Amino acid sequence: MAKKQLNIGLIGYGFMGRAHSNAYNKVNKFFDLEYEPVLEAACARKKDNLKAFADRWGWKSVETDWRELVERDDIDAIDIVSPNVTHHDIAIAAAEAGKMVLCEKPLAMNGREGLEMTQAIEKAGVPNMVWFNYRRVPAIALARQLIDEGRVGRVFHYRAKYLQDWTISPDLPQGGPTLWRLDADVAGSGVTGDLLAHSIDTAIWLIGSVDKVSAMTETFIKERPLQDKPEVRKPVKIDDACAFLARFKNGALATFESTRYARGRKNQNTFEVNGELGAVYFDLEDAHQLQYYDHRDDSHVHGWRTVLVTDSGHPYMSNWWVPGCVIGYEHTFINALADFLKSLETGEPVRPNFRDALETQFVCDAVLKSAKTESWESVGR
Amino acid sequence: MAKKQLNIGLIGYGFMGRAHSNAYNKVNKFFDLEYEPVLEAACARKKDNLKAFADRWGWKSVETDWRELVERDDIDAIDIVSPNVTHHDIAIAAAEAGKMVLCEKPLAMNGREGLEMTQAIEKAGVPNMVWFNYRRVPAIALARQLIDEGRVGRVFHYRAKYLQDWTISPDLPQGGPTLWRLDADVAGSGVTGDLLAHSIDTAIWLIGSVDKVSAMTETFIKERPLQDKPEVRKPVKIDDACAFLARFKNGALATFESTRYARGRKNQNTFEVNGELGAVYFDLEDAHQLQYYDHRDDSHVHGWRTVLVTDSGHPYMSNWWVPGCVIGYEHTFINALADFLKSLETGEPVRPNFRDALETQFVCDAVLKSAKTESWESVGR
Amino acid sequence: MAKKQLNIGLIGYGFMGRAHSNAYNKVNKFFDLEYEPVLEAACARKKDNLKAFADRWGWKSVETDWRELVERDDIDAIDIVSPNVTHHDIAIAAAEAGKMVLCEKPLAMNGREGLEMTQAIEKAGVPNMVWFNYRRVPAIALARQLIDEGRVGRVFHYRAKYLQDWTISPDLPQGGPTLWRLDADVAGSGVTGDLLAHSIDTAIWLIGSVDKVSAMTETFIKERPLQDKPEVRKPVKIDDACAFLARFKNGALATFESTRYARGRKNQNTFEVNGELGAVYFDLEDAHQLQYYDHRDDSHVHGWRTVLVTDSGHPYMSNWWVPGCVIGYEHTFINALADFLKSLETGEPVRPNFRDALETQFVCDAVLKSAKTESWESVGR
Amino acid sequence: MAKKQLNIGLIGYGFMGRAHSNAYNKVNKFFDLEYEPVLEAACARKKDNLKAFADRWGWKSVETDWRELVERDDIDAIDIVSPNVTHHDIAIAAAEAGKMVLCEKPLAMNGREGLEMTQAIEKAGVPNMVWFNYRRVPAIALARQLIDEGRVGRVFHYRAKYLQDWTISPDLPQGGPTLWRLDADVAGSGVTGDLLAHSIDTAIWLIGSVDKVSAMTETFIKERPLQDKPEVRKPVKIDDACAFLARFKNGALATFESTRYARGRKNQNTFEVNGELGAVYFDLEDAHQLQYYDHRDDSHVHGWRTVLVTDSGHPYMSNWWVPGCVIGYEHTFINALADFLKSLETGEPVRPNFRDALETQFVCDAVLKSAKTESWESVGR
């Protein structure tokens, strides 16, 4: 049966451009779907680099001005993987041009931008998704399933960490093509938008809305050279680390922490939920596992069980290999894309959409504000 | 060689009375020391229970009024394991009677009491120790040693948790002989004094003084029956859970959390230190291990190593068995007692003393205050 | 720069056909190579299934008779993923036709077949590889690197397990399209050829040649229905489980065990090497990690370190994502294919080749023979 | 209530003398029992060392000739912790003198000796126990309980390891007061009697009798200095390492391995049972945990659960502390002693008795024989 073709225009070609291109290439090989993405056009400012990228990944054409891409009639969906500072204008223009919009996280530089983007998207009524890819880790999806099945019950506690250690060296530059995440003008914030946004999205998905927060941030290395001009050193304006206390609307308590200075932790994105009936624990460094504690077990065999999330009965896994064979980082994007394409078949909107990501953005804003005011701050709407 | 006898008067006979009695019985069998504690007198109000306790553990005499015990000439040292609300008066009276004083943690109901106690102790100039027994877990002592050796370097992050789950059931009563820790009038606070005091003592020992905190507390179950009168239900006044952000004076950031509602966690007292050069992680549920990450290792073998802390070269372990043979919970008290007795030999004061415990008490006070004011609070001195 | 095209003819389309097709699709997207495989033709007997498979994966043409494929002038390399019983004739025919040959493991039904195949391959002088894909797990490649660096020293012990639990149910049929691994006439043996062959290949790669073995095998379920004719039950002739003792030529001792009846183990392929200076441990269920113990560490920090094998300095990983981002099962095939293509560039033969796989086959033969004779058996050459 | 006094005569004062003395001191403090052991007399040849030992541990008198001790009327029970070569004569003399006999493992130098001892004991009809203390690790006792509850079902596989690394250095001497375990004339064998005897006792207790074995042993360091005369080097006659395949009478397959050359393993005594319905795994280096897999769980939450064996409902633990508080190595002796004393109350013989230990001895004999004959050997009776 012939597939329905969905012509994609990708904006940006860095690390995420690679991850998304891979997803477009692979999704139909592993998932049975009506729709098939076509790698129609890739867009970026530096033509040479772009051309090499497009050739490698099979993008059929290139554009150096995203505004032209957005206007092209042959494009059905715009996928935004360019730096955060560009999301706002592109998303709104794409929505106004009637394109479907897929946007990398974090949604925007701040809640104000995010709100405008969300309003534009909703006004246009176009299918949309924000790539909080970790919702598509099978073990995290299983955590959600266990909660939905009532296995956790009333939630007392949530605790999330997202720890890395790659910016400890003071010699690491900031800004430029691969280190724009360290430049507040391009990234909006540091670990809050880059890492905590993931933690917050997961938390909201699993537990519900956050009511208020008390946060602290720190910038450990105060000055760094520029990647583009190593002889120039500039103050670092991003948050190197951020921790916050939170209260969910349902009464659960939470702690969140993120840093790029946690020596020894490479990509330790963890969460734990403690409920009346059970508990779950996840660590992205062991992404193929979910820890689950069931209080209703016979008491002498109470224990945390390590669920190896590779069975065909586990979320997404029937599309991949056989029990005991793990999938990796890149598959979260493929799973997400499959969900997006499936949503076009079923008409059931995919999540998280712009509205969901906006909620996460508002929490980030409250966190950053609280760190400045040194007060508890309510999450805006 | 005949040992110097040290006559002990123990006040209280509950769980901690048992742990301490065991320590007095065993310490000279495993440690070579000049001093030998003599189980001279045990004291508590309920004579029948006390008598059975004294018989079992070998206490030579009993007293039902601690004031009389404190005045006895044959007593060299008073060991206080009675509920928190009694610590203040006993410690001061014992100090004024010229006795050495060993006191269970937390030091006092609050900082004001603790200060008075510390002043009395220091005025009397008597040897004194507060039983923060976890400093004597070999793996925690090893963590301190690694830090002292410069293996961690500048500290960026500290995170501590102390999680239990034994009070989730709303049917659990409060107050009474074995559940006074749930009665704020007797315990002073809930998890803050009971569990977080341990975490704070360890943190100060490893990292240094805490500057300021932002805290939240919660009481999940609002009303419980009394243990003594099950037909009466009273409001619960303790903190069931407490989490706080902290900044150390040396610039390190910290998160602390404690609760008795963390389904699945029995006695999960953990800490992690992330420094420029290395990191350590400890979990009391695996008390025989210390996790250590050394950034100076060759990069392709970077990794968290699990140090099995049972070798004769590890703290305290030459006094016990052979490599691979673990010790348990009770041994932390024996190790602590050995340190106390050794300090009498050497004249080098043992730590933590009342002054150290007072610092922890001030942090607890700031935490509880912050939870009420919903503001950052500086730690008092 | 235009790539050199390498036209592939694939024989077989089951689970392994999928894994290999994926590798052909992806290898040039992640590795910089002179050669580029072209999915020229796929071959299998059932035309309808084959056609669907070829469409999905992008094979340009199909064949239903492997002899015709082998003769096609446009084919440069034959890749054999059909059942074990077919390997012998195909490999020899392909070699005689001057094709490069890539063959799934185990090499053959037995050593005699394997020897004939190897002789044919070597006589033809064609590039060849056997897909023992686990050599391309980055953590296993790192184990080899650590041994090569002299970090393990004189080896005393090797122990390997390969445990699964998917055949415990007596209702599971044997034979047929997806269960031919349970049919001795098609598979040659049970776990010995399917799982232990992996363990043996890894062992020989890491430690050296095996001298002699003492083995036992068992078939727990004596009779099973046929997958194709469920109403017919036939005796099970494969080994459900196999364990053996071994002595390496260098004097090291080993234990090997494999089964599909290890309840709770899904794909637990483990090995441990204990040497004078260090030790390594690997478990495929945590494939992103290597455990390493260095006896030359300071003694108080001796410990097994968990190396998260995701850094760019780790084998293969610079081609994938960033530290902390794992790859999955399928990547081992891509890494292997990259090595094969690289070997065409450099002229340095890739390993394991047919000769290497033959050595593993001889160990398997000795193991099966020993289980029958109940005696120690030397490994043939 | 006054306790019934049981006067103990202990023969030997090394590492095990210490562990047993501690048990006699502590058992009544933690267990409610009718009987109370009295440390009546300790016996060894070197009077000075013995005296110091007796003073430290509270033994009321000393003897330097075990024959005199055995004849003393005031002694109720003889506890043998002297080197293996002495067990035979002492046990028989003690039995003939009508004493209860407690004997350290392994029972004897070989099965012939063990049989004579068992016959003497049974003829005398005296209470008797062999100190296979690991049966009293709460987690191992829990494993037995889970099997008894039918949670494992038909057993397919058993695998046991007992790995240490303390004899790798060629400079380590043999023989003498603390290293007699390396002298075959005193110890009978190397790791087979010292370590594998534990593994075999546990296996028989959990699974049942062993039918036949195929073994290999190795002595890696061929010559060592004598501890008593370092200038003399003698051939090493013990087995440094031993591995064997086994078949249980009930059809289950097993692998066993033990060594003191497993770099990185300090006291890694592990076993795993794979049954039709469930599985258990234990590692003495994490002695407070039992891993349990329940195939009857809902399939999407299948997983190995880590049972923290510290709850009051777990074997032995109600006598100790509270959930989350672990016990250590020495407690296994106290638990065993409590079981022995309880058996005097109830008249229900304690296990393992001499007859049970004899069965283990016969397996050891078959293992050592098989290693010599390089054939499968049946276990004697």
Residue pLDDT, tens place only, A194-227: 999 999 999 999 999 999 999 999 999 999 999 9
Both tokens of D315, joined, read 């074997």
Which pLDDT belongs to residue A2?
83
* Mean pLDDT, all residues of chain D: 97
Q: Does C83 sit behind a cis peptide bond, omega within 30 degrees of 0 on the bond before it?
A: no
Q: pLDDT tens, B81-121?
A: 999 999 999 999 999 999 999 999 999 999 999 999 999 99
Both tokens of A381, joined, read 């709407």
Q: Does A106 sit behind a cis peptide bond, omega within 30 degrees of 0 on the bond before it?
A: yes
Q: What distance in Å separates residue C303's CA from the closest CA in chain B?
A: 4
In degrees to the nearest 10, what's the CA dihedral of D257, D259, D264, D265?
Answer: 60
Residue with tokens 């999704």: A27
Strands (E), C171-299: 210-218, 223-225, 233-235, 241-248, 253-259, 268-275, 278-283, 289-294
Both tokens of D285, joined, read 């280096």
Q: Are A341 and A27 in contact (CB under 8 A)?
A: yes
Q: How far is CA D269 from the centre of its chain?
A: 12
At C322, give phi and psi (nearest 5°). Answer: -125, 165
- Separation CA D216–CA D241 (nearest Å): 8
Q: How many CB atoms lie within 10 A of CB A346?
A: 9
Both tokens of D248, joined, read 């249980």
The amino acid at residue D189 is S
What is the three-class DSSP state of A83? Answer: coil
Contact A257 B156 (CB under 8 A): no
Q: Does B352 sit behind a cis peptide bond, omega within 30 degrees of 0 on the bond before it?
A: yes
Q: Residue C1: is its pLDDT beyond 70?
A: no
* Backbone region of residue D150 per phi and psi (left: phi > 0; alpha: psi in -120 to 50; beta: other values): left
Cα C146 to Cα B300, C141, C159, C203: the distances in Å are: 9, 9, 17, 14
C57 contacts: CB under 8 Å, gap ≥ 6? A29, C18, C21, C22, C25, C39, C42
- Separation CA A289–CA D182 (nearest Å): 44
**Residue A375 DSSP symbol:** B
Helices in D165-281 by DSSP H: which ranges? Answer: 176-179, 184-187, 191, 197-206
pLDDT band of residue B1 (cuts 50, 70, 90) is: low
- The structure's pTM equals 0.98
At D196, give phi and psi (nearest 5°). Answer: -65, -30
Q: pLDDT tens, D295-314?
A: 999 999 999 999 999 999 99
Q: Which chains reach chain C with 3 or more Cβ–Cβ distances below 8 angstroms?
A: A, B, D
> Which chain C residues are closer than 8 Å to D243 by Cβ?
245, 253, 255
B30: exposed, middle or buried (C-beta count within 10 Å: 0-12, 13-18, 19+)? buried
Strands (E), A106-154: 128-131
Q: Residue B209: is its pLDDT beyond 70?
A: yes
Q: Are B129 and C284 in contact (CB under 8 A)?
A: no
Q: The complex's ipTM?
A: 0.96
Q: Residue D3: is its pLDDT beyond 80?
A: yes
The string of DSSP letters for C113-134 reads HHHHHHHHHHHHT--EEEE-GG
At B306, give phi and psi (nearest 5°). Answer: -95, 105
- Separation CA B242–CA B235 (nearest Å): 18
- Separation CA B261–CA B165 (nearest Å): 4
Find the helix or strand (DSSP H, E) in which A337 lies: helix A331-346
CB of C297 less than 8 A from some CB of D: no
Q: Residue B318: is its pLDDT beyond 90?
A: yes
* Residue B380, strand partner residues: none
Which pLDDT belongs to residue C37?
98
pLDDT band of residue B178 (cuts 50, 70, 90) is: confident
What is the three-class DSSP state of B337? Answer: helix
The amino acid at residue C274 is N
At A138, give phi and psi (nearest 5°). Answer: -55, -35
Strands (E), chain D: 4-11, 35-43, 61-63, 77-80, 100-104, 128-131, 155-163, 210-218, 223-225, 233-235, 241-248, 253-259, 268-275, 278-283, 289-294, 304-308, 377-378
pLDDT band of residue A298 (cuts 50, 70, 90) is: very high
Both tokens of D223, joined, read 């010559």
> Which chain B residues are closer than 8 Å to A171 by Cβ?
none
Contact C292 B307 (CB under 8 A): no
Cα C281 to Cα C139, C160, C230, D304: the distances in Å are: 10, 10, 42, 20
Cα A164 to Cα A257, A333, B300, B303: the distances in Å are: 11, 21, 17, 14
**Residue B261 DSSP symbol:** -
The amino acid at residue B220 is F
The string of DSSP letters for D338-359 reads HHHHHHHHH----SS-HHHHHH
Cα B11 to Cα B5, B91, B132, B178: the distances in Å are: 19, 11, 17, 16
Strands D223-225 and D233-235, how do they pair?
antiparallel
Q: pLDDT tens, C283-292?
A: 999 999 999 9
Q: Residue D80: is its pLDDT beyond 80?
A: yes
CB of D172 less than 8 A from some CB of C: no
Q: pLDDT tens, D5-38?
A: 999 999 999 999 999 999 999 999 999 999 999 9
A347: exposed, middle or buried (C-beta count within 10 Å: 0-12, 13-18, 19+)? exposed
Q: pLDDT tens, D338-381?
A: 999 999 999 999 999 999 999 999 999 999 999 999 999 999 87
- Separation CA C254–CA C208 (nearest Å): 12
Q: Are B260 and B166 in contact (CB under 8 A)?
A: yes
Contact A264 B241 (CB under 8 A): no
Q: What distance in Å separates residue D57's CA from the closest CA in chain B?
A: 6
- Separation CA C187–CA C195 (nearest Å): 12
What is the three-class DSSP state of A155? Answer: strand
> Which chain C residues are closer than 8 Å to B301 by Cβ?
146, 151, 292, 294, 305, 307
Q: Which residue of C has its CA nearest to B143?
A: C301
Q: Residue D1: is its pLDDT beyond 80?
A: no
The amino acid at residue D83 is P
B2: exposed, middle or buried (C-beta count within 10 Å: 0-12, 13-18, 19+)? exposed
Find the helix or strand (DSSP H, E) in which C22 lies: helix C15-30
Q: How large is the angle between the packed helices B47-57 and D15-30, nearest 10 degrees? A: 170
- Separation CA D293–CA D303 (nearest Å): 6
Handedness of CA A321, A205, A242, A90 (dihedral sign): positive
Mutate: best of A148, A149, A305, A306, partner D, most D CBs <10 A: A305
- Separation CA D130–CA D206 (nearest Å): 17
* Residue D238, strand partner residues: none
- Separation CA A299–CA B116 (nearest Å): 46
CB of C279 less than 8 A from some CB of D: yes
Both tokens of B55, joined, read 């018989």
Q: Chains A and D: how many Cβ contacts under 8 Å?
A: 57
Q: Residue A1: is its pLDDT beyond 70?
A: no
Q: How many CB atoms lie within 10 A of CB C123?
A: 11
A32 contacts: CB under 8 Å, gap ≥ 6? none
Both tokens of C252, joined, read 């090291």
Contact D300 A294 (CB under 8 A): no
pLDDT band of residue C381 (cuts 50, 70, 90) is: confident
Q: Chains B and D: how many Cβ contacts under 8 Å?
A: 91
pLDDT band of residue A178 (cuts 50, 70, 90) is: confident
Of the candidates D67, D75, D14, D69, which has an alpha carbon nearest to the alpha carbon of residue D40? Answer: D75
Q: How far is CA A263 from the centre of its chain?
A: 23
Both tokens of B174, joined, read 């409060």
Of the candidates C262, C179, C25, C84, which has an alpha carbon nearest to the alpha carbon of residue A322? Answer: C179
Residue with tokens 């897999």: D293
Q: pLDDT tens, C321-342?
A: 999 999 999 999 999 999 999 9
Q: How large is the angle between the packed helices B197-206 and B138-148, nearest 10 degrees? A: 30
Within the 220-239 window of chain D, which residues sit less than 8 Å (CB to CB) from chain C?
220
